[in-house]
Amino acid sequence: MNDTLPKPLNVQQAIEERRSIRDYDTAPVPESDIVEMLRLASLAPSSSNTQPWRFVVVTNPDLRAKVREAAYNQRQFATAPVVIAVIADADDMIGSLEETAHPNMQNDPAALDRYINGTRSRLEKLSETERQHIASEQSVYAVSYLTLAAQSMGYSTSVMGGFDGEKVKALLEIPAHAKVAVLVTLGRGTEPGFPHHRHALERITTFKR
Ligand SMILES: Cc1cc2nc3c(=O)[nH]c(=O)nc-3n(C[C@H](O)[C@H](O)[C@H](O)COP(=O)(O)O)c2cc1C
């Protein structure tokens, strides 16, 4: 074991320390670290394990500059070496049910059929907008995992909803039916971010004892 490597933060520490960071060291992030963060993000839960999230990782400087423009020139894009577009793709979610079926089901044709055809027909009854809404809602779980995985590994992030979705889709060649759920900037942060400022727990929690 290499004692010189920083220890990953545990979940509690990563949650405490994560803040939206809008200024970064411009040094590239090793692709192996990005892959590990995305692997951890992909372990997030989803309804019926449908995993509607897809990731587009943008490190190319010219493309990053164009994405920045489509995101109203928000300052976090000026220095972030990586931008990750989290895509919610309801069509690919329905089209990949054979892949997302739990391996146990392979020995149980009735359960497999219920999963694939039952889930497909349930989703196909919904409107395109409703399906896309479900896919976007689910993708948020992967975004949360991604930000905490990055934090745990010594990186900072900023999640953004402020961008022109159609422009970002065109730039990143994302299929017309899919939705850009959020953009996430990623890198080594060079500012502390704002201290946490949250509702008091009593304001948002009720115990029914
Ligand atoms: C879905 C979502 C969209 C957001 N959009 C933006 C954005 O477009 N620009 C921005 O600077 N911050 C954006 N934020 C960051 C929030 O402002 C930030 O999370 C919040 O103020 C709490 O601060 P913290 O993340 O530092 O704890 C967004 C956060 C989320 C979760």
Ligand 1: list residues with CB < 6 Å: 19-20, 74, 158-162, 182, 193-194, 196
Which residue's CA is the closest to the ligand 1 atom numbered 13? Answer: 160
* Structure confidence at residue 1 (pLDDT): 47
DSSP for 24-72 reads EE-SPPPHHHHHHHHHHHTTS--GGG---EEEEEE--HHHHHHHHHHTT
Query: Which residue from 73, 160, 191, 199 has its CB within 8 A of the most atoms of ligand 1, so it is best to mutate?
Result: 160
Amino acid at 62: D
Look up residue 124 and give its two tokens.
Answer: 């196909």
Tell me the pTM. 0.96
All domains in the chain, ordered by first residue:
11-204 (3.40.109.10)
Mean pLDDT of each 10-residue bin along the chain, 209 residues long? 75 98 98 98 97 98 98 98 98 96 92 95 94 95 98 98 98 96 98 98 98
Contact assessment for residue 101 and residue 112, using Cβ atoms and an 8 Å cutoff: yes
* Structure confidence at residue 4 (pLDDT): 67
Query: Which residue from 15, 18, 20 has its CB within 8 A of the most atoms of ligand 1, so it is best to mutate?
Result: 20
Look up residue 87 and give its two tokens.
Answer: 């895509």
* Structure confidence at residue 145 (pLDDT): 98
Which residue's CA is the closest to the ligand 1 atom numbered 18? Answer: 20
d(CA 92, CA 51): 10
* Structure confidence at residue 29 (pLDDT): 98
* Structure confidence at residue 2 (pLDDT): 53
Query: Which atom of ligand 1 sits closest to the CA of residue 71?
Result: 8
* Structure confidence at residue 106 (pLDDT): 86
DSSP E strands in the chain: the ranges are 24-25, 53-58, 82-88, 156-160, 179-189
Task: Please report the sign of the dihedral spanned by the C-alpha atoms of residue 170, residue 175, residue 176, residue 182.
Answer: negative
Which residue's CA is the closest to the ligand 1 atom numbered 6? Answer: 160
Look up residue 52 and give its two tokens.
Answer: 């509607």
